[in-house]
């Protein structure tokens, strides 16, 4: 499996993750389907719930690395894909970092654009500059909102542009470094900004004094910590529920297959028993015929010898009569 904690964003540009594959699909099937785009340099197929588990996933998933990252762009551009009745879900692989520990596990269409936390007095570039900067990521911007001078919310029509931006760090607009991250909990972000604006409006002097004594390292308020913890807990709960549902579905499928296999083996056992009984009876029948033939053989031999002796005697008598007739004439 790909270890995103040990690989850089540049290395992960070569990777694409394919989920919701049909049950029982083989590596050869996947290679025939996606190998047409380019050469694999890594291939990780996950069939089981865990490494040592006997429980198979209802829908396996595979992580593939190509020799050229442009192939991943082409594959993502050509979505959607389907194999049989399964509509495949494809996404890029993101690195797992201390600052962004959840980004690799969630797929969203919204992202936040912020100024650097180390520069609290910075203001984001104008909206048009931000939109122009994001255009190479592809997709269409459905929604753009500047939440405050330091934060903007952007929503695309697809999740892939968000992943592209996360893989393209660091970001600079007009020489100013900005931060881009996935929006995991919009409600908590808005609440945090609202509290900050309310505090700023109610006590400007206190805020100004606090800003002048801020240490180089960013310090979050208790409310911000709580919001972050809530967002993290919410995401972890969602992931746990998803994996639990996947495990239940896998166990259900495995149980159904086991039940079908048990029924098949029971029927096969019945058929084998019936065939064994038939062969046993047939064997007994032929053994009986063989035994009868052994008993009848001496009688047949004696009868044949008697007939042969009788024929020999008749032949001898006829020869004697013939010889006598020759003598008489």
Domains and CATH numbers, the chain: 9-92 (3.30.70.330), 103-210 (3.30.70.330)
Q: Report pLDDT for 128.
A: 94
For the record, the structure tokens of 135 come out as 């255009």
pLDDT along the chain (329 residues), means of 10: 69 95 93 94 90 84 95 95 94 92 92 91 93 94 94 96 95 94 92 82 56 47 67 76 76 79 84 81 76 66 71 76 69
Output the CA–CA distances (angstroms, integers) from residue 69 to 12, 17, 120, 162, in the order listed. Answer: 9, 13, 36, 17
Name residue, tokens 């010898």: 305
What is the spatial distance between Cα 145 and Cα 163, in angstroms, rounded to a whole number? Answer: 20
Each residue's pLDDT tens digit, 83-103: 999 999 999 999 998 899 889
Task: Render 237-296 in DSSP notation, one character per residue.
Answer: HHHHHHHHHHHHHHHHHHHHHHHHHHHHHHHHHHHHHHHHHHHHHHHHHHHHHHHHHHHH
Collapsed DSSP state (helix, strand, coil) of residue 110: strand
Rounded distance between C-alpha atoms, residue 39 and residue 36, angstroms: 8
pLDDT score of 219: 47
Residue 134 pLDDT: 96
What is the predicted pLDDT for the residue at 217? 43
Give the span between the Cα atoms of 8 and 169, in whole angstroms.
11
pTM of the model: 0.61
Tens of pLDDT along 139-161? 999 999 999 999 999 999 999 99
Backbone angles phi, psi at 194, to 5 degrees: -60, -40
Question: What per-residue confidence (pLDDT) applies to 171?
Answer: 96
pLDDT in tens, 193-236: 888 878 766 665 555 555 554 444 444 556 666 767 777 777 77
């Amino acid at each position: 499996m790909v270890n995103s904690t040990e690989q850089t964003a540049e290395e992960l540009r070569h990777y694409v993750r394919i989920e919701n594959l049909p049950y029982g699909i083989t590596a050869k099937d996947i290679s025939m389907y996606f190998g047409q785009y380019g050469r694999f340099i890594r291939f990780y197929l996950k069939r089981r719930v865990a490494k040592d588990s006997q429980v198979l996933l209802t829908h396996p998933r595979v992580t593939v690395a190509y020799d050229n990252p442009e192939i991943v762009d082409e594959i993502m551009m050509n979505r959607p894909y389907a194999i049989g009745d399964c509509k495949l879900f494809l996404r890029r692989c993101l690195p797992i970092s201390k600052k962004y520990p959840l980004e690799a596990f969630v797929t969203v269409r919204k992202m936040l654009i912020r100024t650097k936390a180390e520069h609290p007095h910075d203001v984001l570039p104008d909206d048009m500059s931000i939109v122009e900067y994001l255009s190479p990521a592809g997709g269409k911007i459905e929604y753009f909102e500047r939440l405050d001078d330091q934060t903007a919310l952007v929503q695309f029509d697809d999740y892939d542009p968000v992943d592209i931006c996360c893989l393209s760090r660091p970001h600079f607009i007009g020489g100013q470094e900005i931060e881009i991250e996935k929006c995991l909990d919009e409600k908590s972000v808005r609440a945090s900004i609202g509290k900050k604006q309310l505090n700023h409006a109610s006590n400007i002097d206190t805020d100004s004094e606090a800003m002048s004594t801020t240490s180089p390292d960013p310090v979050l308020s208790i409310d911000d910590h709580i919001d972050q913890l809530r967002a993290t807990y919410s995401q972890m709960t969602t992931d746990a529920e998803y994996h639990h549902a996947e495990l239940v579905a896998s166990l259900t499928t495995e149980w159904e297959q086991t039940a079908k296999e048990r029924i098949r083996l029971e029927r096969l056992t019945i058929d084998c028993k019936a065939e064994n009984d038939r062969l046993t009876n047939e064997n007994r029948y032929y053994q009986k015929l063989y035994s009868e033939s052994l008993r009848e053989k001496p009688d047949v031999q004696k009868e044949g010898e008697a007939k042969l002796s009788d024929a020999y005697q008749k032949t001898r008598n006829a020869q004697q009569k013939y010889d006598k007739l020759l003598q008489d004439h």
